[in-house]
Chain A
Amino acid sequence: MIAVEMTVNGQPAAANVEARTLLVDFLRDHLKLTGTHRGCDTSQCGACVVHLDGRSIKACTLLAVQASGSKVLTIEGVAPGTTLHPLQEALREHHGLQCGFCTPWVVMSALDLLQRRPDPTEQQIRDWLEGNLCRCTGYSGITRAIATAAATGTTRSDNS
């Protein structure tokens, strides 16, 4: 067992884990942060996207020990309490979700995009969504929601 410690959503988190423990399992099983989903488990679908030191990554393809010493932001840390982040509001407004399984990646991935490109074109948004699967929406609502959130200019999350 190996000791890991990291900051998750602004809070310190520590545990002893097997070296082979994936970050997604550490978040879900040890910290009970189940908003990060284990989808395909093969880096294809993106349901497990979280931020590691401010960058979006797939938590199913990272060992928890690799994240030790880092800052992790999950969907639970994006907005306080029952308040929605402007991007979450925009997803609701534009029907950017249906079943909701992939929605955590939509939010975490799009926040990374908007931190780097505050005013993306539609093509840049669509290119960015590659590597993340949504089987309900056909992406149009998601694309519109991200464009809307970008237009409000309040997309930076506090904890990243």
Chain B
Amino acid sequence: MYDFDYLRASSVTEAVAAVGGTDNGRFLAGGMTLVPALKQRLASPSLLVDLRDIEHLRGLTIDGTSLDVGAMTTHAAVEESVEVGRAVPVLAALAATIGDPQVRNRGTIGGSIANNDPAADYPAAALGLGATIITDRRGITSDTFFAGMFDTALQPNELIIAVNFPIPHRAGYAKFRQPASRYALVAVLVACTSAGVRVAVTGASPCVFRHIAMEEALEENFSPRALNNIDIDAAELISDMHGSSAYRAHLVRVLAQRAVAAAR
């Protein structure tokens, strides 16, 4: 790991200004991806701005129609929250599948979404539930936030403050874990929302995506059987040592059906 400067910011304003004042400074949330990337010299920022002391980036707020998850809220906090379990059970269940207990004690929703790993869980939650990503300067709908592999609509020193999830009528998440990394080989989140049915797929392609044909089929008939004849195009999907694109295409349908069956 190359050395770097370290600053513990006490406010969002301070953090944003500090990263903005450098060429390649980075925000540091839980560090579950960034610290390994530093160790492998895949990242070599001149400055890390640690967000841990900014108290209002942490926490869960539920009103009648939506759930706000602060960017520095850990996966463990989401998983263990009785309120989340009651209001958006799919989110608590999804958080419980991330990594392992020690990773969930450190990893944060803001870090996961900003990183936009092609096989991460939270991007599927944000896109599938139609979340809005609240930053220090604007709100970004999930439909425009996830721009490509490890790429988002965030500007270089733009900081995620919270993720706002509209509470769905019902939703389910089904994940086929890559057993060594515990990332999704493929995972699908299906949600009935006030804006219609949404289907988000992670792990299968370079960036989380919505499957519109599945959404239309489920809009007519919200049952696993409705997906029997949907065409899943393998051409756009990832092929690697863990699974061919044809295998992933198969998983997309099976997991979408399981997510529908699990929806509550």
- Decide yes or no: A56 and B105 within 8 Å by CB, A61-B31, A131-B99, A131-B100 being known contacts: yes
Closest to A42 in B: B36
A-B contact count (CB 8 A): 72
- The answer to whether B6 has its CB under 8 Å from any CB of chain A is yes
Could you tell me the distance in whole angstroms from the C-beta of B244 to the nearest C-beta in chain A? 25
Chain B positions 21-45 with a Cβ under 8 Å from a chain A Cβ: 28, 31-32, 35-36, 38-39
**Whole-angstrom distance between the alpha carbons of A58 and B52 in the complex?**
17
Label chain A's interface by main secondary structure.
mixed
Could you tell me the distance in whole angstroms from the C-beta of B264 to the nearest C-beta in chain A? 21
**Interface on A for B, CB 8 Å cutoff?**
2, 18-20, 41-44, 46, 49, 52, 55-58, 61-63, 65-66, 68, 109, 112-113, 116, 128, 130-132
Sample 8 A-B pairs with CB under 8 A, ordered by A number.
Answer: A19-B4, A43-B32, A43-B36, A43-B103, A61-B32, A63-B35, A112-B101, A130-B182
Q: Are B182 and A18 in contact (CB under 8 A)?
A: no
**Interface on B for A, CB 8 Å cutoff?**
1-6, 8, 28, 31-32, 35-36, 38-39, 48, 50, 52, 76, 80, 99-103, 105-106, 180, 182
Interfacial chain A residues near B36, Cβ < 8 Å? 42-43, 61
5 new A-B contacts at CB < 8 Å, known A19-B5, A41-B39, A131-B182: A43-B103, A46-B100, A55-B76, A57-B105, A58-B106
